[in-house]
């Protein structure tokens, strides 16, 4: 019995001198892995156009029915995204989402990406529905906000050539 106590205390003391693995959240934050599947973002091209073309493939792929997409026509005076259509309404219900990543896999333009924000807490259920306002990333430097007025015929393609992310 006595030896056990000594042994146990020995382990405790050993652990006392180890570097702690706990961190003082939320003052300190552990960086997440590059592939981490956190809150979604809707991406833009460098010129500020939205990547999302409103095809709703993500909504079809979503096992939890978390995504709601409504598409509208683009015109060259009011252009949101390349191609014919853009998502005029895009919502994800974060209470339904299971962060599986299928929407990201399904998207033909890599518009929706699961990014690194994992602190999702809400005061009521309505605010758990993220709309385009929260999801869309800010306009990059040098880009213009949407809708843009563009020269006719300059963005007829909706799925530009792309590289795969790591």
Partner 1 sequence: MVAPSKPITQDLTERFPGAVSKDTRPGYEGYIVSANKLTEVATAIRDEYGYEYLASVTGVDYIADGKLEVVYHASKMSGGASLNFKVQAPRDGEPEIPSLVGVWQGADFQEREVYDLYGLRFSGHPDLRRILMWEEFEGWPMRKDWKEVYYEQDAKPFKTRWPEGSVYRIEEKNRFNKNVRYPKGFDPRSFKSDGDEKLYALMRGEHLPEHQRINTDEIIVNMGPQHPSTHGVFRVVVKLDGESVVDLKPVMGYLHRNHEKIGERNTWLMNMPYTDRLDYLSGMGNNHGYALAVEKLIGSKVPERAEYLRVLMVELNRIANHLWAIGFLINDLGAFQTPMLYLAKQRELILDIFEATAGSRMMCNYMRFGGVVRDLPSRIRDEDTLDFITDLVAERLPAALDEIETLLTFNEIIRTRSIGVGVLPAKQAINGSAAGPLLRASGVPYDLRRADPYSIYDRLDFKVCTRPNGDVYDRYLVRIDEMRESIKILKQVLRDMPASGAIMDGESKYTHKVPNGESYGRVENPKGELGYYVVSNGAPNPYRYHVRAPSFINLTMLGDLCKGHKVADIVVILGSIDIVLGEVDR
Give me the residues that bind ligand SF4 (CB under 6 A), please.
52-58, 61-64, 66-67, 69, 87, 92, 97-103, 106-107, 109, 111-112
Instruction: Say which DSSP state 76 is in.
Output: S
CB of 71 to partner 1, least distance (A): 8
- The DSSP annotation for 96-150 comes to T-----HHHHH-TT--EEE-S------SSSGGGEE-HHHHBPPPPTT--PSSB--
Interface residues for partner 1 in 137-156 (CB under 8 A)? Answer: none
Question: Of these, 42, 52, 53, 62, which contacts partner 1 (CB under 8 A)?
Answer: 62
Q: Determine, following the binding rule CB under 8 A, whether residue 8 of this chain makes contact with partner 1.
A: yes
Nearest to 51 by CA among 89, 107, 124: 107
Residue indicated by tokens 């807490």: 121
Binding at 112: pick from ligand SF4, partner 1, none (beta carbon under 5-8 Å per type): ligand SF4
Q: Determine, following the binding rule CB under 8 A, whether residue 67 of this chain makes contact with partner 1.
A: yes
Q: Determine, following the binding rule CB under 8 A, whether residue 50 of this chain makes contact with partner 1.
A: no
Q: How many CA atoms lie within 13 A of 159 on its CB side?
A: 7
Instruction: Return the CA Rg of the chain.
Output: 23
- The residue (of 49 and 57) whose beta carbon lies closer to ligand SF4 is 57
CB of 109 to ligand SF4, least distance (A): 5
Question: Of these, 87, 94, 114, 136, which contacts partner 1 (CB under 8 A)?
Answer: 114
Burial of 134 (0-12, 13-18, 19+ CB in 10 A): middle
Residues facing residue 148 across a β-bridge: 79
Instruction: Spell out, one character per residue from 78 to 107, where the chain touches partner 1: x when CB under 8 A holds, - when not.
Output: -------------x-x----xxxxx--xx-
Binding at 87: pick from ligand SF4, partner 1, none (beta carbon under 5-8 Å per type): ligand SF4
Q: Determine, following the binding rule CB under 8 A, whether residue 70 of this chain makes contact with partner 1.
A: yes
Phi, psi of 59 (to 5 degrees): -65, -35
């Amino acid at each position: 019995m006595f030896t056990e106590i000594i042994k146990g205390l020995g382990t405790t003391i050993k652990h006392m001198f180890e570097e702690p693995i706990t961190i003082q959240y939320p003052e300190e934050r552990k960086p997440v892995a590059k592939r981490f599947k956190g809150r979604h973002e809707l991406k833009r091209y460098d010129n500020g156009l939205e990547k999302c073309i409103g095809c709703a493939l993500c909504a079809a792929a979503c096992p939890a029915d978390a995504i709601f997409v409504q598409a509208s026509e683009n015109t060259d005076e009011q252009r949101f995204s390349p191609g014919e259509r853009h998502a005029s309404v895009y919502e994800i219900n974060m209470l339904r989402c299971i962060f599986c990543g299928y929407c990201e896999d399904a998207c033909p333009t890599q518009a929706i990406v699961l990014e690194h924000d994992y602190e999702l807490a809400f005061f009521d259920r309505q605010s758990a529905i993220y709309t385009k306002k929260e999801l869309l990333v800010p306009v990059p430097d040098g880009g213009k906000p949407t809708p843009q007025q563009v020269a006719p015929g300059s963005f007829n393609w909706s799925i530009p050539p792309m590289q795969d992310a790591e």
